[in-house]
A and B are shown apart, each in its own frame.
Chain A
Amino acid sequence: MSTVKLTVNGKAVSVDVEDRTLLSNLLRDNLNLTGTHVGCDTSQCGACVVHIDGRAVKSCTVLAGQANGSSITTIEGLAKGDELHPMQAAFRDNHGLQCGFCTPGMIMSAVDIVHRYGGQLDEATVRHELEGNICRCTGYHNIVKAVLDAAGRMKVSQAAE
Chain B
Amino acid sequence: MGVEGIGASVVRKEDKRFITGKGRYVDDIKLPGMTYAHFIRSPHAHAKVKGIDSSAALKIPGVVAVLTGKEIVDDKVGNLICGWAITSKDGSPMKMGAWPAMAPETVRFVGQAVAVVIAETKNLARDAAEAVVVNYEELPAVADVTSAIKAGAPQLHPEAPGNQVYDWVIGDEAATSAAFAKAANVVKLDLTNNRLAPNPMEPRSAIADYDTAEEHYTLYTTSQNPHVARLVLSAFYNIAPEHKLRVIAPDVGGGFGSKIYIYPEEMVALWASKKTGRPVKWTGDRTEAFLTDAHGRDHVTHAEMAFDASNKIVGLKVKTYANFGAYMSLFSSAVPTYLYATLLSGQYVIPAIHAEVIGVYTNTTPVDAYRGAGRPEASYLLERMMETAARQLKVDPAALRKANFITQFPYQTPVIMAYDVGDFNASLDAAMKAIDYAGFAGRKAQAKAAGKLRGIGVSCYIEACGIAPSKAVGSLGAGVGLWESAEVRVNPVGTIEILTGSHSHGQGHETTFCQLVAERLGVPISQVSIVHGDTDKVQFGMGTYGSRSAAVGLTAILKAMEKMEAKAKKIAAHALEASEADIVIENGEFKVTGTDKAIALPMVALAAYTAHNLPDGMEPGLKESAFYDPTNFTFPAGAYICELEVDPGTGKTSFVNFVAADDFGRLINPMIVEGQVHGGLAQGIGQALLEHAVYDSNAQPITASFMDYTMPRADDLPSFKLSHTTTLCPGNPLGIKGCGEAGAIGASAAVINAITDAIGKNNLEMPATPDRVWRTIHSA
A residues neighboring B (CB under 8 Å): 18, 20, 28, 32-42, 44-45, 47, 74-76, 78-79, 84, 88, 91-93, 95, 97-104, 107, 123-124, 126-128, 130-131, 133-144
Contact = CB atoms under 8 A, between A and B. Distances in A.
Contacts, number: 180
Given A20-B123, A107-B19, A134-B706, A95 B11 contact: yes
A142 B286 contact: no
Nearest to A126: B714
Interface stretch (B93-101, B426-434, B504-512, B637-645): B504-512
B203 interface: yes
Nearest to B199: A136
Interface residues of B, number: 57
A142 B18 CA distance: 16
Given A101-B202, A142-B675, A40 B719 contact: no
Given A88-B19, A95-B675, A98-B508, A137 B706 contact: no
Contacts of B123: 18, 20
Given A34-B25, A98-B508, 9 more contacts: A34-B28, A39-B286, A98-B675, A100-B506, A128-B715, A136-B682, A138-B682, A139-B717, A142-B675
A99 to B, nearest CB: 3
A67 to B, nearest CB: 18
| 9 interchain residue pairs of minimum CB distance | A35-B21, A101-B253, A100-B18, A139-B682, A99-B506, A75-B21, A98-B506, A44-B706, A139-B678
A128 to B, nearest CB: 5
B254 interface: yes
A91 B251 CA distance: 18
B707 interface: yes
A100 B679 contact: no
Q: Is the interface of A mostly helix, strand, loop or mixed?
A: loop
Contacts of A136: 199-201, 254, 256, 679, 682-683, 711
A33 B671 contact: no
Contacts of A101: 23, 25, 200-202, 253-254
B678 A141 contact: yes
8 contacts: A37-B201, A91-B15, A97-B19, A100-B14, A127-B715, A131-B713, A140-B713, A141-B675
A103 B681 CA distance: 20
B720 interface: yes
Interface in B54-79: none
A144 B719 contact: yes
A97 B21 contact: no
Contacts of A124: 715
B672 A95 contact: yes
B294 to A, nearest CB: 15
Interface string B639-655: 00000000000000000
B612 interface: no
Given A37-B202, A40-B286, A41-B705, A97 B18 contact: yes
A138 B713 contact: no
A64 to B, nearest CB: 13
Interface in B674-721: 674-675, 678-683, 705-707, 711-715, 717, 719-720
B19 A103 contact: yes
Contacts of A138: 675, 678-679, 682
Contact of B21 (A20, A76, A93, A141): A76
A143 B683 CA distance: 16
A104 B202 CA distance: 13
A142 to B, nearest CB: 6
B19 A98 contact: no
A143 B719 CA distance: 11
Contact of B20 (A32, A41, A75, A137): A75
Contacts of A91: 15, 19
Contacts of B22: 35, 76
A141 B719 CA distance: 5
A100 B23 contact: yes
Contacts of B682: 136, 138-140
B287 interface: yes
A133 B200 CA distance: 13
A131 B713 CA distance: 6
B285 interface: yes
Given A47-B201, A139-B720, A141-B720, A42 B671 contact: no
Contacts of B706: 40, 42, 44-45, 134
Given A40-B705, A95-B675, A104-B21, A140 B254 contact: no
B12 interface: yes
Nearest to B678: A139
B442 to A, nearest CB: 25
B754 interface: no
Contacts of B714: 126-128, 130-131, 133, 135, 140, 143-144
Contacts of B672: 95
Interface string B12-44: 101111111111110110100000000000000
A37 B286 CA distance: 13
Contacts of A100: 14-15, 17-19, 23, 251, 253, 506
Given A41-B286, A95-B675, A101-B201, A134 B23 contact: no
Contacts of B743: 139
Nearest to A88: B19
B527 to A, nearest CB: 20
Contacts of B12: 92, 95
Given A39-B203, A41-B285, A127-B715, A137 B705 contact: no
Nearest to A76: B21
B248 interface: no
Contacts of A37: 25, 201-202, 253
A92 B672 CA distance: 12
A98 B679 contact: yes
A106 B711 CA distance: 16
B372 to A, nearest CB: 14
A88 B286 CA distance: 27
A157 B168 CA distance: 64
Contacts of A47: 201
Contact of A39 (B18, B30, B202): B202
Nearest to B672: A95
A41 B284 CA distance: 10
